[in-house]
C-alpha cells in the first residue's frame, strides 16, 4: 500500500465547539451546595457547550439539594434549581454528584442512585474510607459507576492514574502529602522556626486550618485518604480501621531544627506499602498503611512541596518513581476533579457501558509492627556523664537496631564534668517497629537518660 492510499481523510470540524450539536441530554442531580458544590453548579451552568462537546451529551443541572432552602438565600444560583427533597431529585436524575460530606444521608442517597442504575460522582472521603469497598461492589452489581477523584488530593489526578494508568504495573509504595493544613503548619515551622501552636494559629488566621483543627492535625483526614489510596494501589480492601495514625501535635520546633541540621524536612505522610514477609516459596504479601510525621531528605521530590500544596509519590515495579503535585483543596480545584469524573462518566453513559469500579481483586493481610522495616530518628536528653553514649549504644545493639548516625549537643556544664546535660540524636538503619519500641523502652530505663524527646520515622533514604 502506498502512503496516499492508507492516509485517512480528515473530516471538517466546526470552528465553534460542537457542543450545540449534542442531542442526548443527561440530567445531573447535585447534592450539596457548599464551597465545592457551588463551583460545580457554576461550571455546569457556564460551560454547557464545551462540556457537551466533550461528553457527547448535554449535562443538564436538574437541581441542587440543600439542607435548608432558607440557608441558601444568598447563593448566586437560579433559585428554582434549589430543593430540599434530595430523594426526589436523585430519582429524577441520570447522574448524581454527591458533595454533602459525612456519612448520612450521603450514603443512603448514593445507594439510592446506584440501585436505580444512576452513576455517582462523589468527593466524600470519610464515607469511602468507611464503606468504600462495599459501595464499589454495589455499584458494579447495579451496572452503575462510582467515581471519586475529588476525595483524595483535591484537583490532583491521582485516583484515575492509579486505577488505570498503572493498572498494568505493580505499585509497591505510595507516599502522600494529602493534607494541606498540616503541610502548611510544618512548612511554616520549617521556614520560620515557629512552634507548633504558633504555626497552627497562623494557619487558622489565614483560613488554612479550621477552628477545630482536630481532623487535620491528628491525621484523621490523611488516614481516610491513605485507606483509599491503599485500596486502589494494592487492589485490596483497606478501611480507616486498618490505618495506624499519628498526628503532628507533638512535633516540636527542636525536632524540626534537628532534622534541618541533618538535611531533612518533616512532613506528615500517608504511607501505603506492599510488604513481603517470609522468603522463597513461603513468601507472602501484605500491606501496611499508616499516617505519621516523617523525616524526608531535603532532595526528595516530596520535600519541595510547600505551603498548603499536596503531592502523591508513587513507586511501581516498572514505572519507577512518579509524583503528582497540585492544589489539594479549595472549591474550584476540587470542582475541577468532580467535573473530570462527571464528563468521563457521561461519556461512558452515552456509550451505554459504565466503567466498573472493581477495585479489589484480592484480600491482602495487614502487616503488623513486627513486619515493617523503617529507619528512625530518636532524640534523648541525657546526663553528660562519661560512658552514657556507650550504655545507650549497647541497648540499640541488644535489640539488633543498627545506628547510622549520631549527633551530640552539650547543653551546659563543662563537657564530661557530670554537671551538664546533653542531647543525643540518633538515626538508625532500617529496623522493625517492634525492635525499636523495645529499644526505646529499655533506653528510658537507663539511669543516665532523662527523657526520650522524640521518635520519628525516616523515609526516602
Where in 377-416 is the site for its own copies (CB under 8 A)? none
Answer yes or no whether residue 277 interacts with its own copies by CB under 8 A. no
Q: Is 353 in the site for its own copies (CB under 8 A)?
A: yes
67 binds its own copies (CB under 8 A): no
Closest CA to 455 of 412, 415, 410, 396: 396
> Which segment (47-55, 177-185, 243-251, 423-431) binds its own copies by CB under 8 A?
47-55
Which residue lies nearer to its own copies by CB, 340 or 379? 340
User: Cβ closer to its own copies: 324 or 420?
Assistant: 324
> What does the block give as the cell for 233?
494501589
Rule CB under 8 A: say whether 283 interacts with its own copies. no
One of 51, 227, 308, 436 touching its own copies (CB under 8 A): 51
With binding defined as CB under 8 A, does residue 280 bind its own copies? no
Cβ 47 to its own copies shortest distance, Å: 7
Closest CB to its own copies among 51 and 185? 51
Cα Rg, the chain, nearest whole Å? 26
- Tell me how far apart the alpha carbons of residues 82 and 217 are, in angstroms, rounded to a whole number: 35
Smallest separation (angstroms) from its own copies to the CB of 308: 11
Residue 344 contacts its own copies per CB under 8 A? yes
Asked whether the beta carbons of 309 and 327 are under 8 A apart, the reply is yes
User: Per CB under 8 A, which of residues 105..144 are in contact with its own copies?
Assistant: 107-108, 111, 131, 133-135, 137-138
What is the smallest separation between the CB atom of 93 and its own copies, expressed in angstroms? 17
- Scan for cell 466546526, then name that residue: 14
Q: Does 257 bind its own copies (CB under 8 A)?
A: no
Give me 426's grid cell.
Answer: 540518633
Helix (H, G, I), strand (E, B) or coil at 166: coil
Q: Which is nearer to its own copies, 140 or 255 (CB)?
A: 140
Q: Which of residues 410-449 bind its own copies (CB under 8 A)?
A: none
Q: Which residues are catalytic?
A: 225
Exactly one of 24, 276, 356, 444 binds its own copies (CB under 8 A); that residue is 356
Task: Give the contact letters, 300-329, x = binds to its own copies (CB under 8 A), - = no.
Answer: -x--x-----------xxxxxxxxxxxx--
Instruction: Give yes or no for a contact between 76 and 365, defined as CB atoms under 8 angstroms apart.
Output: no
The single residue among 57, 89, 99, 156 that binds its own copies, judged by CB under 8 A, is 156
Nearer to its own copies by Cβ, of 182 and 344: the residue is 344
DSSP string, 377-431: EEEEEEE--TTHHHHHHHHHHHTTPPEEEEEEEE-SSSTTSSSSEEEEEEEE-SE
Q: Is position 101 an interface residue for its own copies (rule: CB under 8 A)?
A: no
Is-contact 204 211, C-beta < 8 A? yes
20 binds its own copies (CB under 8 A): no
| Other beta carbons within 10 Å of 194 | 17
Query: Is 35 among the residues that bind its own copies (CB under 8 A)?
Result: no
Nearer to its own copies, 246 or 287 (CB): 287
Q: Which of 84, 169, 198, 450 binds its own copies (CB under 8 A)?
A: 169
The reply on whether position 149 binds its own copies by CB under 8 A is yes
Which residue reads 524540626 in cell numbers?
256
In this chain, which stretch among 183-191, 196-204, 274-282, 350-358 interacts with its own copies, using CB under 8 A? Answer: 350-358
For its own copies (CB under 8 A), the number of binding residues is 89
CB 253, min distance to its own copies, A = 24
Q: Which stretch binds its own copies (CB under 8 A): 14-22, 179-187, 210-218, 429-437?
A: 14-22
Minimum distance from CB of 339 to its own copies (Å)?
A: 2
CA distance 359 to 230: 10
Q: How far is the CB of 389 from its own copies (least distance, A)?
A: 38
228 lies in the binding site for its own copies (CB under 8 A): no
Cell output for 318? 516498572
Q: Check residue 355 for interaction with its own copies (CB under 8 A).
A: yes
**26 and 57 Cβ atoms separated by less than 8 Å:** yes
3-state helix, strand, coil in the chain (%, to 5): 40, 25, 35
Q: Does 460 bind its own copies (CB under 8 A)?
A: no
Characterise 153 by phi-psi region: left (phi > 0), alpha (psi -120 to 50), beta (else).
left
Q: Do 100 and 31 contact (CB within 8 A), yes or no?
A: yes
- Residue 196, CA distances (Å) to 183, 210, 369, 452 in order: 12, 15, 28, 19
Angstrom distance (rounded) from CA 258 to CA 265: 9
C-alpha pair distances (Å), 290 with each of 50, 229, 313, 422, 427: 41, 11, 15, 32, 20
Region binding its own copies by CB under 8 A among candidate stretches 176-184, 336-344, 398-406, 452-460: 336-344
Q: Is the dihedral of CA 218, 220, 223, 225 positive or negative?
A: negative
Conformation bin of residue 443: beta by default, left when phi > 0, alpha when psi is -120 to 50: alpha
101, 117, 157, 368: residue in contact with its own copies (rule CB under 8 A): 157
- Give the end-to-end CA distance of the chain in Å, rounded to a whole number: 55
Amino acid at each position: 500500500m502506498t502512503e496516499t492510499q492508507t492516509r485517512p481523510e480528515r473530516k471538517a470540524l466546526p470552528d465553534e465547539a460542537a457542543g450545540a450539536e449534542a442531542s442526548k441530554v443527561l440530567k445531573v442531580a447535585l447534592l450539596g451546595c457548599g464551597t465545592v458544590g457551588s463551583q460545580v453548579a457554576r461550571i455546569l451552568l457556564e460551560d454547557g457547550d464545551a462540556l457537551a462537546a466533550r461528553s457527547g451529551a448535554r449535562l443538564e443541572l436538574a437541581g441542587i439539594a440543600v439542607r435548608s432552602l432558607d440557608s441558601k438565600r444568598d447563593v448566586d444560583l437560579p433559585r428554582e434549581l434549589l430543593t430540599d427533597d434530595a430523594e426526589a431529585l436523585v430519582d429524577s436524575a441520570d447522574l448524581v454528584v454527591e458533595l454533602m460530606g459525612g456519612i448520612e444521608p450521603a450514603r443512603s442517597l448514593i445507594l439510592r442512585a446506584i440501585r436505580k442504575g444512576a452513576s455517582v460522582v462523589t468527593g466524600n472521603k470519610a464515607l469511602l474510607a468507611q464503606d468504600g469497598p462495599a459501595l464499589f461492589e454495589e455499584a458494579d452489581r447495579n451496572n452503575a459507576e462510582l467515581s471519586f477523584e475529588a476525595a483524595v488530593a483535591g484537583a490532583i489526578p491521582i485516583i484515575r492514574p492509579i486505577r488505570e494508568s498503572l493498572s498494568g504495573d505493580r505499585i509497591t509504595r505510595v507516599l502522600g502529602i494529602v493534607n494541606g493544613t498540616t503541610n502548611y503548619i510544618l512548612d511554616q515551622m520549617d521556614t520560620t522556626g515557629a512552634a507548633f501552636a504558633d504555626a497552627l494559629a497562623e494557619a487558622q488566621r489565614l483560613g488554612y486550618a479550621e477552628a477545630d483543627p482536630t481532623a487535620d492535625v491528628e491525621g484523621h483526614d490523611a488516614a481516610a485518604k491513605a485507606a483509599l489510596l491503599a485500596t486502589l494501589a494494592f487492589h485490596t480492601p483497606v478501611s480507616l480501621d486498618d490505618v495506624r495514625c499519628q498526628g503532628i501535635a507533638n512535633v516540636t520546633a527542636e525536632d524540626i531544627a534537628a532534622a534541618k541540621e541533618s538535611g531533612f524536612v518533616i512532613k506528615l505522610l500517608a504511607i501505603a506499602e506492599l510488604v513481603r514477609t517470609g522468603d522463597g516459596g513461603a513468601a507472602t504479601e501484605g500491606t501496611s498503611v499508616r499516617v505519621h510525621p516523617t523525616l524526608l531528605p531535603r532532595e526528595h521530590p516530596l520535600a519541595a512541596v510547600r505551603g498548603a500544596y499536596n503531592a502523591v509519590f508513587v513507586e511501581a515495579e516498572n514505572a519507577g518513581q512518579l509524583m503528582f503535585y497540585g492544589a489539594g483543596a479549595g472549591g474550584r480545584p476540587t470542582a475541577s476533579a468532580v467535573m473530570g469524573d462527571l464528563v468521563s462518566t457521561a461519556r461512558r453513559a452515552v456509550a451505554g457501558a459504565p466503567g466498573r469500579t472493581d477495585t479489589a481483586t484480592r484480600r491482602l493481610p495487614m502487616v503488623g509492627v513486627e513486619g515493617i522495616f523503617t529507619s528512625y530518628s530518636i532524640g534523648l536528653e541525657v546526663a553528660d556523664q562519661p560512658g552514657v553514649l556507650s550504655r545507650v549504644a549497647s541497648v540499640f545493639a541488644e535489640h539488633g537496631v543498627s545506628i547510622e548516625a549520631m549527633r551530640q549537643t552539650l547543653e551546659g556544664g563543662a563537657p564530661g564534668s557530670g554537671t551538664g546535660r546533653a542531647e543525643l540524636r540518633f538515626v538508625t538503619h532500617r529496623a522493625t517497629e517492634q525492635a525499636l519500641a523495645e529499644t526505646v523502652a529499655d533506653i528510658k530505663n537507663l539511669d543516665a537518660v532523662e527523657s526520650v524527646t522524640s521518635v520519628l520515622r525516616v523515609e526516602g533514604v
